[in-house]
């Protein structure tokens, strides 16, 4: 069996799809953690191995289920992001439908990994009891504080406010086919945790802290049975005691054949000014398009997103969006001129921007829609709340509490 080695920890772990499965003595939720969807991000795999081992040896009682999974085993063994296709871009509606109907057109290592993960996830969902929680463990190529990336449903938003780290909304508008978007389409609580830079030993410790906190927040493990305060303070300190919400509003997309190189030294969340030199594209300058915070600048050879721009979201707008969504004001949108249903399921709409000029992205976000630009005229918008399995989480203790203020 293949193994991976971490020099900083002087530790070796065996690569296997199911790192561990622990069945609690009492019924409860099912938590699924996956690490290493990108093969150059093994931190989550090491952390999951450590936590599973500790839970077993320390005889910590679980109320529910824990699954710890590995992502792209082939890429993890080779230490590369992926083989031919990014495994975290293969979960589009069409590609998943092809999996369901056994009509896979492309055969490479990444698709093979997807088939195995998809089959396992479906088995877990079919055989275990909910509610279900999914956690996707990542690291970044640039130096960063820990943070969460979240599809902005009210269900996700309520759960993640328990963590002492920044929360980034809206990344799904700029990515096609990430694993978490597929899970969110199924309606479950699911989000990503970025623990730090790929090779930083602290990233593994941050992942361990995140896993333990998640077990407590989902009421699978009692707070008193672990070093809760230590793990909580570790993430709070590592993130600079920032726990605000941010939204992505710009992405620099790298074109096929483009030679893109970030200038060295940019940190994740760093403030940049409009016109500031950020990178080179085919030896031509790439300037900051706005004054904002730079987010996830690309410092690795594989990847299509050069950098993002983010801005903070004021708490009043988060509260307003929650009220508007709960009042179901989104139901008036299909009645407006220039708007029509995109599917018979009535979960997404097509907006003609020439007719519906009043539709700004910010308004659509408030109403609970995510937006994809189809071309210069049309927007495809999809409800983030349509699929949410809100009733399945109604009795969860975290869903009874008032939201934590920023």
Mean pLDDT split into 10-residue runs, the chain, 406 residues: 78 93 95 98 96 93 96 95 94 87 78 95 95 98 94 95 96 90 94 95 97 98 96 97 94 94 95 97 96 95 92 95 88 86 84 79 85 80 89 93 52
CATH 3.40.630.10 correct for 3-243 = yes
Angle between helices 201-217 and 228-238 (to 10 degrees): 130
> Of 356, 352, 341, which Cα lies nearest the Cα of 375?
352
What CA–CA distance (Å, rounded) separates 194 from 190?
A: 14
What CA–CA distance (Å, rounded) separates 222 from 216?
A: 6
3-243 and 248-312 in the same fold: no
Residue 406 pLDDT: 43
Q: Residues 35, 193: contact at Cβ < 8 Å?
A: no
| Segments making up each domain of the chain, as ranges | 3-243, 248-312, 327-383
What CA–CA distance (Å, rounded) separates 219 from 295?
A: 32
Residue 357 pLDDT: 73
Which residues, in sequence order, are bridge partners of residue 6? Answer: 11
The two structure tokens encoding residue 8: 């900083």
Question: What architecture is the 248-312 domain classified under in CATH?
Answer: Beta Barrel (2.40)
The two structure tokens encoding residue 278: 């950020």
> Model-level pTM?
0.92
Chain length of the chain: 406
> In whole angstroms, how far apart are CA 144 and each of 140, 264, 266, 311?
7, 14, 10, 16
Q: Residues 205, 234: contact at Cβ < 8 Å?
A: yes
* Bridge pairing between strands 132-140 and 189-197: parallel
What CA–CA distance (Å, rounded) separates 214 from 163?
A: 9
Dihedral angle, C-alpha 284, 290, 295, 300, nearest 10 °: 0
Residue 48 pLDDT: 98
What CA–CA distance (Å, rounded) separates 184 from 191?
A: 8
Residue 216 pLDDT: 98
> In whole angstroms, how far apart are CA 94 and each of 91, 104, 304, 374, 388?
8, 10, 21, 16, 21
What CA–CA distance (Å, rounded) separates 194 from 307?
A: 15
Residue 10 pLDDT: 78
């Amino acid at each position: 069996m293949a193994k991976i080695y971490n020099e900083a920890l002087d530790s070796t772990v065996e690569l296997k799809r199911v790192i561990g499965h622990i069945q609690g003595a009492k019924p409860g939720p099912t938590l699924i953690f996956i690490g290493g969807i990108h093969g150059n991000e093994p931190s989550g795999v090491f952390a999951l191995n450590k936590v599973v081992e500790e839970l077993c040896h320390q005889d910590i009682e679980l109320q529910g289920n824990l699954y710890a999974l590995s992502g792209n085993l082939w890429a993890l063994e080779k230490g590369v992001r992926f083989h031919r296709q990014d495994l975290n871009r293969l979960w589009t509606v069409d590609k998943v439908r092809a999996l369901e109907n056994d009509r896979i057109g492309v055969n490479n290592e990444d698709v093979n990994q997807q088939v195995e993960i998809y089959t396992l996830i479906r088995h877990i969902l079919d055989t275990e009891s909910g509610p279900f929680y999914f956690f996707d463990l990542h690291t970044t190529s640039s130096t960063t504080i820990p943070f969460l990336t979240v599809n902005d449903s009210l269900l996700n938003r309520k759960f993640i406010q328990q963590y002492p780290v920044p929360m980034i909304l809206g990344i799904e508008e700029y990515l096609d086919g990430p694993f978490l978007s597929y899970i969110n389409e199924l309606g479950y609580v699911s989000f990503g945790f970025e623990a730090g830079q790929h090779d930083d030993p602290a990233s593994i410790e941050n992942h361990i802290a995140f896993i333990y906190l998640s077990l407590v927040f989902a009421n699978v493990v009692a707070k008193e049975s672990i070093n809760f305060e230590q793990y909580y303070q570790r993430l709070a300190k590592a993130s600079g005691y920032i726990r605000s919400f941010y939204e992505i509003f710009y992405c620099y997309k790298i074109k096929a054949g483009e030679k893109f190189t970030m200038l060295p030294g940019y940190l994740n969340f760093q403030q940049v000014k409009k016109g500031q030199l950020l990178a080179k594209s085919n030896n031509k300058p790439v300037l900051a398009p706005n004054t904002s915070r730079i987010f996830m600048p690309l410092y690795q050879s594989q990847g299509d997103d050069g950098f993002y721009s983010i801005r903070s979201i004021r708490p009043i707008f988060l509260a307003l969006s929650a009220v508007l969504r709960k009042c179901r004001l989104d139901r008036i949108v299909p009645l407006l001129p220039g708007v029509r249903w995109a599917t018979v399921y009535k979960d997404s709409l097509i907006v003609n921007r020439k007719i519906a000029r009043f539709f700004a992205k910010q308004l659509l976000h408030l109403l609970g829609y995510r937006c994809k630009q189809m071309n210069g005229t049309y927007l495809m918008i999809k409800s983030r709340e349509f699929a949410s399995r809100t009733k399945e989480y109604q009795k969860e203790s975290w869903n009874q509490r008032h939201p934590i203020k920023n």
